[in-house]
Amino acid sequence: MIRPFSHPKPAFRKLELHVAHGCNLACESCSHYSNHGHAGTVSVEEADRWMGLWSGRVSVSRFSLLGGEPTIHPQLPKFVGLVRRHWPKTQIEIVSNGFFLHRHPSLPAVLAADPDARLIISVHHDSDEYQERLKPVFALLEEWRRDHGVVAKIRPASKNWTRRYEGFGDAMSPFEDGDPRKSWEICPARYCKQLLDGQIWKCAPLAYLPMQKAKYRLSEKWDRYLAYKPLDAGCSDAELEVFAAMEDEAACGMCPAKARFFELPVPLRRPKTRAGAAG
């Protein structure tokens, strides 16, 4: 049994959990690699065990349930209560593209019962095609607002979209601009720790890189980043405090040191899998 801190616990601004690795969209250069055709979900029991390793040791300002696309998980509503049990004072958010919300008719009541839980809808394109597909989503949200008081925050996720890496699949490569500090400073997810396999990872690009390696023949350029060691639950209190306070480190060098903006293609059309991809 891991003993809780006898003094104020280290605080994470944000802790994220992939409840599902797959996604129905294909946003080019997704920092979670959700455009690369991954699949699989985390069971409620697994998540409970992972959270139990840390909830007595760290405080979390905001806990995000996401993916991938979290609404792919058939038991998504149960995760809200699970997070609340482990971190009674955290703000809980479900980050979704919204297209599968209709699969979870119990979700609005769950959100309405928790005053510090909210739904965030990420809108990944402003094209007419994409907006047309969103109409039934917004109609459902209006129904949830009327019947349960659920208010969803709409986030224009495709605005100011940047590349986290170059290429796709086997041809994917890190930027390695040579300035990890600058890479960290401009990173939109620099405070987004990941809870995966009972360990805490610095960020999504590092946490899910092994998943990429298992599916694609990544070049040796990625080896140094695949060697990254996440924080294990058996760490000392001192190691945990150092991890919580750490900003840039060598692994940040995989991401760009200056923002590479580009216009995101309509993500409704999944790109074809490149030749040579495994799995």
Q: Are 54 and 7 in contact (CB under 8 A)?
A: no
| pLDDT value of position 278 | 31
| Percentage, residues of the chain above pLDDT 70 | 94
Q: How many helices (H) and strands (E) does the chain have?
A: 9, 7
| pLDDT value of position 214 | 98
Distance CA 154, CA 183 (A): 27
pLDDT band at 224 (very low <50, low <70, confident <90, very high): very high
The candidate with the shortest Cα–Cα distance to 269, out of 130, 162, 167, is 130
Q: Which residues contact 217 (CB under 8 A, 6 or more apart)?
A: 170, 276, 278
Q: Note the pLDDT tens digit of each residue in 12-38.
A: 999 999 999 999 999 999 999 999 999
| pLDDT value of position 8 | 84
34-60 average pLDDT score: 98
* Neighbouring-strand partners of residue 153: 120
Where do the domains of the chain lie? Answer: 11-254
With residue 40 as reference, give the H or E element that holds it. none
Q: Which residues contact 135 (CB under 8 A, 6 or more apart)?
A: none
142-156 average pLDDT score: 97
Please state which CATH number belongs to domain 11-254: 3.20.20
Distance CA 94, CA 118 (A): 6
